[in-house]
Chain A
Amino acid sequence: MSGAGTTRDPVRHVPRAEYLTTVKELADEGYAMCIDLTAVDYLELPNRRLPDDAEPAQRFEVVVNLLDLRNRRRLRLRVQVPEDDPTLPTLFDVHPGTEAMEREVFDMFGIEFTDHPDLTRILMPEDWVGHPLRKDDEVGRIPVQFKGAHA
């Protein structure tokens, strides 16, 4: 019984069209806090298993961790985001704390959050090209800045 105790969080797969309304409904149900919002690039795992009732797997997946403080429960939402249209409505109106997290996902994965108040890069330099956490943005592809320096 040792080690853990952390309950296995329930997961819900949400269709992209119902994403915003689902989060709003859940906020009314008590999931008052958005703890985390991140994304995964499933480029190398196109045939991964998803439950039958979920939407077909897409390249990107946005993962949202919600927390209900009163009932002490968590819920993880997984939303499929296609490669050819990587957009999702922002959660800023429901959970303003997602502002920085959505900017990070935009910066790292190039997923755009429509109606986000300030969708700019947050961790990478403003003039950076590409989105580093995408699987096709390879490590070491960027030339070393000081390669011309004398040894």
Chain B
Amino acid sequence: MTASLIIFFVLAALAVGGALSLIFQKHPIHSALSLIVVMVALAGLYLLLGAEFVAAVQIIVYGGAIMVLFVFVIMLLNAGIEEHTNFSKLAGFPGLLLAFALTGFIAATIARSTDTVQAAAQPGNMASTKDLSTMIFKDFVYPFELTSFLILVAVLGAIVLAQREKA
């Protein structure tokens, strides 16, 4: 049991616990906070995997911007404890089964596949942020520009949609 393995299991438990909490909480704000926990745990896992920049971005963007946005909206809309309605017959037991089926398929596939990467990767030279940026601006410059455009469009869309109607 190396240290990294213990850290992994702790972080993993944290992530799963946060996800479970997200499902079982009744008030959306609690779900949001649980999601933040999950994200922080995932950031930790990225660090464990040697992707520092991604971990940083995860915290800053996901945790600091997106989740904040969620919390703002929950407060803006005055969301309360969600009411318990059950109009859909399909979303009860069958849905549960299906979700387990999906997970089971994917997990079993991975567990049984012998040609996926089982071997532990060497700690070795982690790629640095410099290499990452080089890759982005050289090989992936076109998608990069597109995504900036996408953000612009999203911002505009959000503003247009959320305007108060002229009285």
Tell me whether A and B are bound partners. no
A residues neighboring B (CB under 8 Å): none
B residues neighboring A (CB under 8 Å): none
